[in-house]
Amino acid sequence: MARQNRKFTPRQRTTRPLGASLTANQPPAQPLQAPLLRDGDWYIEPPLSSRLYQKSGLGEMQSDESIRLTPEEVMFCHWHRHVPLPSESWFQELVNTDSDIIARSIVFDTARSGGEILIPVENIPDKWGIETLESTWALRWNREHVFSKQSPVAHVRWAWTTDDIDWAEMLHWTREVHARGMAAEFFVIDEEMDVTMYLLAIDQPSGHQPLWDSFSSKDKAELESLWDQRIPRGTGWYIPNVSDWPWNSIGVEHLSGRHLREEEGAWLEVLLKGLDVPIELELFSDLMSRGVLLRPGFKFGSRWRVYETPVGDAHAPWLVQPVEFAPSTWEGACLAVRLSEGVNKTWLCAIQSQSQWHYLHMQRWLPGRN
């Protein structure tokens, strides 16, 4: 079968050439001065320095009214403010000693493309009283904010798609950022030099299913009687001739009986006998205690799809993946999020910290535009 003709215009990808401006604004009649090297850092002198700082939040203001720029800010000024590079070989020489300047320059440019103000943490003056985190790369202000008078709205980090993920560290960073009343944003750059932006949050899945403690003694006795009739089936169990199963959150109805997965049966056994929840069932138990309903999520690349209501009443809003099965690189994480959002679900990574379960939520977004 011939492929259908699709009429659309592909998105044009920016190549960001050196020596060429990316802005449509006309360059000044008198060429601007290139950044000057002083004590190992790059500076722009007044009067241009004041305009770049006051209007765009670029650089760190010095006592002589010059501004000190990070290398990624030098690149941004080159692309968008008609500022020449220090030399024709400057960027190549810089890459030899700091290869991440490639990613930082692209991420910095992308983050500011919507008009938002992004300032590297090393340019945040102590007098502003903003407490930054060691792993945070930059702080972001909304485009309508005055960065020197208002608080930032987000902490920002970045990574290559090929970089490894430390999920416990990501959870800790997200919690610390939220404790400061700000959003946690993560920008991922791929080998095509394209950037995808993510918002990290901590979700609290909950539902309306009956909990074990809500059942009467009669209901619990009936569940125990039915469970005693179980027949092993693969890794799970089949309970035949069940016409009235008391707990619809557990098992599925099929072949005039009830089919329980291995984890469902093991957890029910723990409840009926009053045993301590074993380690391998702690996450399952935590989710069930939230009143949700769990079904296998293998079709969506996750451990469970999680429902608030009975299956059939509404779609599952969450996909939950235990941290031990979570992607090990950002490429895998981006794929998992894209898959979940493609089926209108929220992807959660379940991480245990200090004897509590936390559900780290990743979602694609565009700062200032979502």
* CA-atom Rg of the chain in angstroms: 27
The number of domains in the chain is: 2
Is residue 268 assigned to a domain?
yes
Q: What is the CATH number of the domain that holds 67?
A: 3.40.1350
With respect to residue 237, please indicate whether it lies within any of the assigned structural domains: yes
* Beta-carbon contacts of residue 90 (< 8 Å; ≥ 6 apart): none
Domain boundary among 135, 152, 169: 152
pLDDT of 9 reads: 72
Give the pLDDT confidence of 108-148 residue by residue, as tens digits: 999 998 899 999 999 999 989 998 999 999 999 999 999 99
Residue type, 331: E
pLDDT at res. 4:
58
Residues 6+ apart with CB under 8 A from 77: 35, 44, 52, 58, 69, 83
Judge if 145 and 41 occupy the same domain: yes
- Residues 50, 130 within the same domain: yes
130 within some domain:
yes
For residue 188, the model assigns a pLDDT of 98
Q: Is residue 83 part of a domain?
A: yes
Domain boundary among 133, 152, 171: 152
Report the predicted TM-score, pTM, of the whole model to 2 decimal places: 0.92
Q: Is residue 143 part of a domain?
A: yes
Q: Are 126 and 232 members of one domain?
A: no
Domain annotation covers residue 166: no
Verify that 55 and 142 share a domain, yes or no: yes
The count of other CB atoms within 10 Å of the CB of residue 223 is 19
Domain limits at 40? 36-152
Query: In this predicted structure, what is the pLDDT of residue 313?
Result: 87
pLDDT, residue 3, reads: 56
Residues 346 and 298: their CA atoms lie apart, in Å, by 15
Q: Which of 249, 282, 315 is the last residue in one of the domains? A: 282
Q: Are residues 148 and 41 in the same domain?
A: yes
Are 218 and 145 in a shared domain? Answer: no
Bridge partners for 199 per DSSP: 185, 363
Q: Are residues 134 and 46 in the same domain?
A: yes
What pLDDT score was predicted for residue 369? 64
**Sequence-ordered alpha helix ranges (H) in 81-193:** 90-97, 101-111, 167-179
My answer on whether 40 and 130 are in the same domain is yes
Cα gap 113→284, rounded to integer Å:
43
**Residue 16 burial (C-beta neighbours within 10 Å; 0-12, 13-18, 19+):** middle
Please state, in angstroms and rounded to a whole number, the distance separating the CA atoms of residues 80 and 68: 17
Nearest to 156 by CA among 180, 177, 171: 177
In a domain, 367, yes or no: no
Residue 172 burial by Cβ neighbours in a 10 Å radius (0-12, 13-18, 19+) = middle
What pLDDT score does 6 carry?
63
The confidence score (pLDDT) of residue 218 equals 94
> Residue 308 domain-assigned?
no
Residues of the chain under the 50 pLDDT cut: 1
- pLDDT for res 8: 67
Cis (ω within 30 of 0) for the bond into 47?
Answer: yes
